[in-house]
Structure 1
């Protein structure tokens, strides 16, 4: 192995396991990486905090090829949005109807269920379709009105109606 001056920074590793995996991958690709202070860290792991972050280094002439090899395997995973927005639009519709039921017939329970359905729509459909957005906004306002009504004057009104 050549001296440390010929090596340049390639990547920062979260822990020793990640550094070993990255190093072994690069070695299998024909590169010559090393982890800065690897021997000291393996003998005295309690000094890890004092030594700072784990740095994977590579010979300067291998830098570009090694970084390209790492980029190929480290492509970020992007969650794809649900393409079938009908399902989420139906959930948004159920959310709206449950908020209306919570305002009129079954207080609080339907409103809470309406909010749960709304969260499901938000988790599944990004960006929101126009229908889903309209239904969720309307459900949100109806839920707010229902909670205000039932938690302030609604139960008093019902109780006074039954005590006559």
Structure 2
């Protein structure tokens, strides 16, 4: 089957143009026929790179299995870096969520700022984020946004009320 008549399928996403060129060159040297989607556009107008998103490396469908096995054999094992235990950071994420909720209702702004500080500590110490921490931090962001909006919009009016 010739290269022009074959269907191309997704092989991998590359972080940048240089990585895509290195992987494409390696696969070509191994006898494969890869292509980088939107390669001409990126070569002529590299400033469009952010608009086009990630670089996608494609391979003819009949070469997919062999190329993916070759790429997997070259991939280094990924190391998960966690400086604190997951339970500690998940607990911190839970505190961030509760402080965000309290910032919306009882203690404005102070709890929201404390929640943001805890969220930052979780993001700094837990790499990659666990699903539990991610969900708690997303909810904390929602509640912090609501809290800041409510208290910064209506807070001055509430404080000017005389009882």
- With normalisation by structure 2, the TM-score equals 0.49
TM-score by length of 1: 0.48
Rg comparison, structure with higher value: 1
